[in-house]
Chain A
Amino acid sequence: MSSVPRFWRSLGSRYNLEGTHCKECGEYFYPPRNVCVNCRRMGELESFKFKGTGEIVTYTLIHTAAEGFENQAPYTLAIIKLDEGPQLTSQVIGDSEKMHIGMRVKSVFRKLGEDGDRGMIYYGTKFIPADA
């Protein structure tokens, strides 16, 4: 991890699932973008708060953890498609045996990880099964 500025800069997006919406073509972006990939200079982006519901596109159970995530292993990492369209990478909490492609999930606010050197704890969005 070890990047406090990089993390705090995007707190609004991380805490509230805030992305952007292009008023020109209608596409939604999360993580937020400053330039629409379809319209580029002709696009008009406004901020947009996602509902936080979606489904698992694909996932994996990570046994060899990333730096800063050692005490969470094994953990489920997934690509989730939000109902408004965009996809993001996040952890899904819950019984890994029950995870499956197409599973409905909803966002929750949780500890993400910690920085070994500074002892910083990072919070943000994770997902849980929608029926939990």
Chain B
Amino acid sequence: MRDVAIIGVKNTKFGELWERSLRDIVVEAGIGAIEDTSVSGKDIDALYVGNMSGGRFIDQEHIGALIADYSGLSRNLHVPATRVEAACASGGLALRQAIMSVASGYSDIVVAAGAEKMTDVGSEEAASALAAAADREWEGMAGATFPGLYAMIAKLHMHKYGTTSEQLAEVAVKNHKNGYFNPIAQYKNKITVDDVLNSIMVADPLHIFDCSPITDGASALVLAPADVAHKYTDTPIYIKATAQASDTIALHDRRDITTLDATVVAAKRAYSMAKLKPEDIDLVEVHDCFTIAEICAIEDLGFAEKGKGGIVTENGETAIGGRIPVNTSGGLKACGHPVGATGIKQAVEIVTQLRGDAGKRQVAGAKYGMTHNVGGSGATAVIHIFSRER
């Protein structure tokens, strides 16, 4: 196996991009990531694209070929392009496929992209498409929604550990504060705990401000073997670990409703592969599709004792400047959550931070960063660890 480096990154603006199509935004991200390096199109050996639900959102499947085509990689170069799907973890998984492709020696220069165009359908249809990431037959047909599933996690977390609605709200407040400094973020408004608690209730105890929004956006990365990375960039960032785990599709079949075992297992595999511990990580992008998801994530990743995620957040330990900055990009909550793009966007943020290019949201002296991308209510978890040094 070869070491792998990331040599180029690019996010589009995240938000309601009504005037732009999926192919427009992917091309912008892909070309941007390539222009971030000295690679040219003919050097590219393969393309992996994370996309959750093109069929539902834009009535278009065969997304891999579409994106290769409109990126100018098909008609003359015939670059192989593969779509990767694991619900909201599609992007993270596309990155993992790209890493394995380079590490194995099958490919040298590989583009990993992620994209979703969610606002071409109404919010009800978008919610219905997202609900397909849960167990349609045995959760959906009982009336479950995604916020509803995470609300049940939140309710039990509060019951077992005394986590409060205010602590959940603190996650949203922090992520909006971080998003304010991220030029691509969907939301640039700072919010307060009261704003969250006074927003409409979606599924008790989750208010609308506890939920990530419906977003359009695309992100892309360029990967190369670590041995040649310096040929293409002065600031390669190295992959120290890629790990993935699965769990039951339905929340009701879990060992413990408040613990995402897929995250716990993937984290264990990632720490072991990188030969690092949670204390070594300088910052992390976690999958905060709902505020409770960030609380569970920091516990399951080893950044807070089980049950203490709420208190750790309330104490400011996850803020920029705190013990372990979480979601410096603004997270899914403020940056936006174009489902197929999220896992790639998380990696773009970590690379930007490790290069020292994050401006006002920079974590001083960051050496090791982590991404945590979840599909559904936790049936897939993908974790990556990145390093400034090889």
Contacts and interface: CB of A to CB of B under 8 A. Distances in A.
A62 B141 contact: no
A129 interface: no
Contacts of A46: none
Contacts of A61: 201, 203-204
A91 B143 contact: yes
Contact of B159 (A64, A88, A101, A122): A101
A6 B138 CA distance: 11
B128 to A, nearest CB: 5
A91 B204 contact: no
Given A88-B138, A89-B251, A101 B155 contact: yes
A91 B128 CA distance: 19
Contacts of B136: 3, 6
Nearest to B131: A66
Nearest to B208: A64
Contacts of A67: 124, 127-128, 131
A124 to B, nearest CB: 8
Contact of A88 (B143, B203, B252): B252
B19 interface: no
A58 interface: yes
- Size range of the interface on B? 35 or more
Interface in B82-137: 124, 127-128, 131, 136-137
A10 B137 contact: yes
A17 interface: no
Contact of B204 (A63, A66, A112): A63
Contacts of A64: 127, 145, 147, 202-203
Contact of B143 (A10, A77, A101): A77
Contacts of B137: 6-7, 10, 31
Contacts of B332: none
Q: Which of B124, B148, B202 has the most CB of A within 10 A?
A: B148
Contact of B152 (A1, A63, A79, A91): A79
Contacts of A3: 136
Chain A's interface size range is 20 to 34
B143 A112 contact: yes
Nearest to A79: B252
Contact of A59 (B131, B143, B152): B152
Contacts of B252: 57, 79, 87-89
B155 A113 contact: no
B265 interface: no
A28 interface: no
Interface string A83-103: 000011111000000000100
B155 A58 contact: yes
A87 B141 CA distance: 16
B143 A87 contact: no
B141 A122 contact: yes
A77 B152 contact: yes
Contacts of A58: 152-153, 155-156, 159, 257
A69 B138 contact: no
A60 B204 CA distance: 5
Interface in B262-301: none
Given A64-B203, A78-B152, A87 B253 contact: yes
A50 interface: no
B77 interface: no
Contacts of B148: 60, 62, 66, 77
Contacts of A66: 127-128, 131, 140, 143-145, 148
B250 interface: yes
B365 to A, nearest CB: 41
A113 B140 CA distance: 11
Contacts of B143: 62, 65-66, 69, 72, 75, 77, 91, 112-113
Interface of A: 1, 3, 6-7, 10, 31, 57-67, 69, 72, 75, 77-79, 87-91, 101, 112-113, 122, 124
Interface of B: 124, 127-128, 131, 136-145, 147-148, 151-156, 159, 200-206, 250-253, 257
10 contacts: A6-B136, A7-B141, A66-B143, A66-B145, A72-B143, A77-B152, A77-B203, A89-B251, A89-B252, A122-B141
Given A64-B202, A78-B152, A87-B253, 13 more contacts: A7-B137, A57-B252, A58-B152, A58-B159, A60-B151, A63-B202, A64-B145, A72-B143, A77-B148, A77-B152, A79-B257, A88-B252, A89-B138
